[in-house]
Structure 1
Amino acid sequence: MINPQWLQTFTVLSEMKNFTRTAERLGITQAAVSQQMRLLEQQFGHLLARRGREMALTPAGVALLQYQREVENAENRLQMRLTEAEATCGDVGIVSPGSIGLRLYPLLLELQQQHAGLVLRHRFAPDPEVLEVVLSNKYELGLTSTKPDDPRLSASRFTEEPLELVIPADKTVDSWQDLMQLGFIDHPDGRAMATRLLSRCFPGNPGISSLPITGFSNQVSLLLEPVARGLGFTVLPHFARISFAKQPAIKVVETPVAVVDTLWLIHRQEWPLSSRAEKVVAYLRQALCGSVNTTEPT
């Protein structure tokens, strides 16, 4: 039987590719890392190939790492089987981008109020981080705006989210000149989103760079505050807009062409969702059903 502590050290070392950083991650000494590796190699042969500062797994090392993953997957499947009946008890973690997260988090709190045994964790993160934390088993569920091609992940359509042109409630926009007069409230994805939507709604326009910038925020929950105060317009996803508290102070411009993104629900491919996670997904799907009317993905 393999010592689980040695196996954990080897797994971290295969990721960090550095004895010092591995020791720091595990909270042990570098000497302890070296000793555990020597003991493993006595049992299984040469596991690491070193050339200068570079480090790579030998075929035996690859086989041992695969064994560790199979053990981890088996433990997760066992845990899910043991708790299958507990659909309203236990922990469920979900990670998502900011816009859809603003809509999901209140819904998750409502579900937790209905079932006190549930512990629902939500984290805001960009797409690359969503993939990372789901793959590392830190969160069971994730939402991304692009479908991942990683074979370790299962992906299914969750919902659609159109981009919206949002202006102050007392303004109108009929032309590019109207946008010029309002000014653009920018955000980290603002220029890309505005280009995608405005290039279709105002063909032949001189481009987003021609618009005056009248504000910026990297907090999606606060982005519409300057719009509500009449300081400019912005382009952002639907769920961010409907989560804003001061709806009477803003207005969505009806556009002749829809620009719609698909949001993908992801989880690890190797094992089924827990009954708790399935309940959360079903609840969220039902709550979001009908909230977006357009079906023209881009």
Structure 2
Amino acid sequence: MDIYKRYKGVIPKSDLEGLRRVKPPTTIRANSLRLGREELLERLERKGFMPEPHPSHPQAVMIHKEPFSPGATPEYLAGLYMLQDAASMIAVSELGLKQDELVLDMTAAPGAKTTHISELLKNTGAVVAFDSNKHRLRSVFYNCERMGCENVISLNMKAQEVTEMGLGFDKVLLDAPCSAEGTVHKNPELLGREIHYKRLVSEQLSLVEAGISVLKEGGTLVYSTCTLNPDENEGVVEHAINQGLRLVKPLTKAGSPGIGLEDTRRFYPYKDQTQGFFIARLKK
């Protein structure tokens, strides 16, 4: 079933059209451990890029003109910035991080969010980063070293195994494996591909239950995906609420209210200059 039939009467057609037709700009995150956004803008301009501050996040820079790959500059290799979508940055900021906290990143590779958490903690506390794919976990090691992140513990384990560690976390980020429908601008085959939603939702529910079990009382869990499917988004959040979490108002003013849960946030390329994305902020 194509994406229009799949979500007829659920998601406005204009949002689906915008998702398919509008390609969000390349976006990077200034590494505040090493420089500010204004300095990064100046450095990129001198190299012939056309950068612009992203309106939705104070570290985000959109690149409208690329004389060469932004992943091939000395500044990139020196860890001055990370290639990362602005909605992904917002998900990390929704954690409301404070120095010295213990934070869990349940699905860490390739490390954009992990390094962002480390950065916002100012290299205090600790970030425990899980990924079950040892080859992808190498990118977490590389990016942490490149970005100067010294408080990250990377583990080649399934995120559900965190329940066996006997730890309690102040903050938990679950950027869940999903159907990735928010990336159809670069993966057009998703428009007609059969997707096994039930299998994905089962995995997402298992992950969110594990995250809840290790979250301290009063702690924050942020759930995010890069998909449109309400079952993978609002449906999982409703399950988390039934498990005892409270959905709270987002810190960001960007994005649109979710479907049936207004305090969740949905992002679309033509509205927000991001990939399609979903974020929910929950408290224990």
TM-score with structure 1 setting the length: 0.23
Of structures 1 and 2, the one with the larger relative CO (CA 8 A, separation 6+) is 1
Q: Select the structure of larger CA radius of gyration.
A: 1
TM-score with structure 2 setting the length: 0.24
Question: Normalized per residue, which structure has more helix?
Answer: 1
